[in-house]
C-alpha cells in the first residue's frame, strides 16, 4: 500500500492563476504537490496559501532558495517579509517548468505552515528558441497559525498566461 494518496488534480489553460481550494484536510500533516507550467512568455510561478475562510494569504511569507542556472552563476533568492513564496517554478517560450513541493502542517492552528521545494525551468537566453535550463531548491514558511485549506499558483508577468497542472497527494505516515 502506498503512503501517497491522490487528493486532487487541477488544471487551468491560459490563466494567470490557479487556485486549489479545500485540498488540505485533517487526515494528513504532510502533502506532496506536483506542479507543471507552460507559457509563451517569461514568467515566474509563485505560491500563496488559502485560509479556511477562502481568502488568499498575501503577507507573512519567508523563503530562501538556491537558484542554479545552467548558463551563469548560481544565486540566492531570499526574503524575510514577502507576499508569497517566490519562484517555485517558471517558464519561457513554452519549454515548460515543474516543481515538487512538500507542505507541512497546513491544518495545524498551533504551528506555522512550512514548505520545501525543488523546481526546474527552461529559459530562452538568446530569444531564438534555444533553451537553457535552471533549477532551484528552496524552503519557505507562512508565519501565521491560520488553518490553511488550499493554495494558489500565480505568475508574476501580467502579460503572460500559463497552462498549469497541480496534482496534490496526502502523505500518510503510519
Over residues 91-145, the pLDDT tens digits come to: 877 788 999 999 999 999 999 999 999 999 887 776 666 777 889 999 999 999 9
Rounded to an integer, the average pLDDT of 42-47 is 89
Q: What's residue 124's pLDDT? A: 73
Nine-digit cell string for 100? 515538487
Rounded to an integer, the average pLDDT of 163-174 is 91
Nine-digit cell string for 129? 528558441
What's the Rg (C-alpha) of the chain? Answer: 16
Output DSSP code: residue 56. B
State how far the Cα of 34 lies from the Cα of 26, in Å rounded to an integer: 20
* Residue 75, CA atoms < 13 Å, CB-side half-sphere: 8
Rounded to an integer, the average pLDDT of 45-71 is 94
Q: What's residue 2's pLDDT? A: 65
Q: Which of 106, 107, 109, 89 is nearest to 98 (CA)?
A: 89
The structural domains of the chain, ordered by start, are 4-171 (2.60.120)
Q: Is the pTM higher than 0.85?
A: yes
Amino acid at each position: 500500500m502506498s503512503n501517497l494518496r491522490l487528493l486532487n488534480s487541477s488544471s487551468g489553460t491560459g490563466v494567470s492563476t490557479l487556485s486549489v481550494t479545500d485540498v488540505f484536510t485533517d487526515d494528513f500533516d504532510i502533502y506532496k504537490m506536483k506542479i507543471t507550467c507552460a507559457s509563451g512568455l517569461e514568467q515566474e510561478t509563485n505560491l500563496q496559501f488559502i485560509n479556511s475562510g477562502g481568502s488568499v494569504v498575501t503577507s507573512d511569507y519567508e523563503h530562501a532558495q538556491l537558484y542554479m542556472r545552467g548558463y551563469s552563476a548560481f544565486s540566492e533568492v531570499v526574503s524575510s517579509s514577502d507576499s508569497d513564496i517566490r519562484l517555485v517554478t517558471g517558464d519561457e517560450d513554452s519549454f515548460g517548468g515543474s516543481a515538487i513541493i512538500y507542505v507541512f502542517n497546513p491544518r495545524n492552528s498551533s504551528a506555522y505552515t512550512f514548505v520545501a521545494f525543488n523546481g526546474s525551468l527552461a529559459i530562452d537566453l538568446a530569444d531564438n528558441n534555444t533553451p537553457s535550463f535552471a533549477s532551484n531548491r528552496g524552503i519557505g514558511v507562512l508565519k501565521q497559525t491560520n488553518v490553511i485549506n488550499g493554495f494558489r499558483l500565480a505568475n508574476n508577468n501580467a502579460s503572460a498566461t500559463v497552462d498549469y497542472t497541480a496534482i496534490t497527494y496526502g502523505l500518510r505516515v503510519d
